[in-house]
Amino acid sequence: MKKTKILFPFLFSLLLVISGCSKDDDEVVDGTDDITGGEEPEVPTPQDPEALDLSQYSSGQKVMMQTFYWDVEPRFEWWNNLSDKVEGWADAGIDRIWLPVATKGQSGGYSMGYDPSDYFDFGEYDQHGTVPTRFGTREELENLIAKSHDLGLEVIADIVLNHNSGGGLEYNPYREKDTYTLFNEENGNASGMFNRNYEHFHPNDVSQSDEGDLFFSEQDVDHDVPYVQGWLWKNENSVAKYYKNEMGFDGWRFDYVKGFGTWVIEDWMNEVGGFAVGENFDGNADVLVDWVDATGVSAFDFAAFYKMEEAFDRFDDLNYLDGNTLRKINPDKAVTFVANHDTEKDENEDNRIATENKMKAYAYILTHDGYPTIFYSDYENEAFNEEIKQLIEIHNSLAVGDVQVLHVDNDEYLMKREGNAENPGLILYISTGSTTKRRNVQTNWNNVTLLDYSGNSTYTPTSDENGMVTIEAPANGYSIYSITK
């Protein structure tokens, strides 16, 4: 990993610090006055503090990349595009890449894969108007997986188990009408593997409906049917085992898990194992906790996503960052994120984090516990790229130890990672105020000069013999402090 590159001027000018719009200018943080409400202690500052070599530290965890956005372009070239990028991602500190649904959907060359038709057509059969999928051919996908493995990256498959699409029309006696539930070599399943008919969808003589929410009712897959279980995860040539043993996938992103029982995930994982995360699209942390407890796998932390959206956008109040999330209750099972293919395609402002606030949100997820995910479009945005790389490096090196919120109000949020005997940890300071902020905090670092490893502030204070120190956040931005050599 490259060394941290942060430039510090030889001399620092005096900063005029204004309290801005904080509601608590005279409140106390860890027993000390807010610098906006009292005088800053006179502490000598070295002129040229030397940054730690972050490559010598490890948090024991890296970061996942979501490798797509909705309706990626150019069509038929996406696997090759990703093959050109994985080396750079590995160098930046990524350890897993989450691919889009890799098999043929009803929309053929326009499908993003969430309308699954043939679970075994990775871009080799001529159906739905195309041989390659929207993303390319099977050979190109296999080349991408092999290259990723050579770089030490795990490859995560996006799996849609709830519903199917693109089958042929047949009479369905359970619905007493024709339904598009016939999947065979002539009707949406050219591979001939996992052929299906109306008996394999709800309702039938086994069960009437799923335990979960209905989404695509007429083609809602019935997991209670033994034939379906065999083809999806139990047989030696099942979807789960074929993807793992033949294609080389290392783990799973389960789509729309609200649509079926948690036992489906349990059974799948018992057969093939690997890393897994579920898309339980719900902002209620208790719902996510219950699902994680029932399945034993991770979930995307939609509760944390919505708390960030509320804090930075909807209510402009950082108190929401201290709300209830999966990360706070079970960080080992929380996969955090700032954006994904669904939030970015939706124009609903309450379902996305505004562009101008995204880097504060990335600073949040890349310093707190949980397993962070980077969204392809954000990483590839030239305005964000270097900043995200720096945050990944900080996450992979210094984001260690228990999380302690030191202070939070409407426009300030301070959080400390405790570190350990080998790692100093860090302190995150986010401000949405219109002026520079400073605040006196308690640290674990006695008589040591600190610096902002994000590079957003040039202020380099020195802690006293008790670990008290005043740190700074730029206007409407963030800093991430730790010790120097």
What lies within 8 Å, CB to CB, of 206 at 6+ separation is 222, 224, 225
Ramachandran quadrant class, 392 (left: phi over 0; alpha: psi -120 to 50; beta: rest): alpha
Q: Which of 279, 369, 393, 472 is catalytic?
A: 279
Active site residue 150: no
Q: Is the peptide bond before 132 cis (omega within 30 degrees of 0)?
A: no
Which residues, in sequence order, are CB contacts of 446 under 8 Å at separation 6+?
A: 463, 464, 465, 466, 467
CA distance 204 to 108: 29
Encoding tokens for residue 390? 């720096």
Please say whether the beta carbons of 391 and 363 come within 8 A: yes
- The whole-angstrom distance between residue 42's C-alpha and the CA centroid of its chain comes to 42
Q: What sections of 230-295 are H helices per DSSP?
A: 239-242, 262-272, 285-295
How many angstroms separate the CA atoms of 442 and 103, rounded? 53
Is 224 marked within a binding site? yes
Backbone angles phi, psi at 258, to 5 degrees: -65, -15
Q: Which of 115, 140, 222, 255 is catalytic?
A: 255
Known catalytic residue: 255?
yes
Give the whole-angstrom CA distance, residue 294 versus residue 297.
8
User: What order of strands is seen across the sheet that includes strand 412-417?
Assistant: 403-408, 412-417, 426-431, 477-483, 450-452
> Is 411 labelled a binding residue?
yes
| Alpha-carbon span 293 to 287, nearest angstrom | 10
Q: Are 239 and 222 in contact (CB under 8 A)?
A: no
Tokens 């942060």 belong to residue: 6
Q: Give CA torsion, residues 443, 449, 455, 458, to 10 deg.
A: 120
Annotated binding site: 162, 224, 411
Catalytic machinery residues: 255, 279
Annotated binding site for Ca(2+): 162, 224, 411
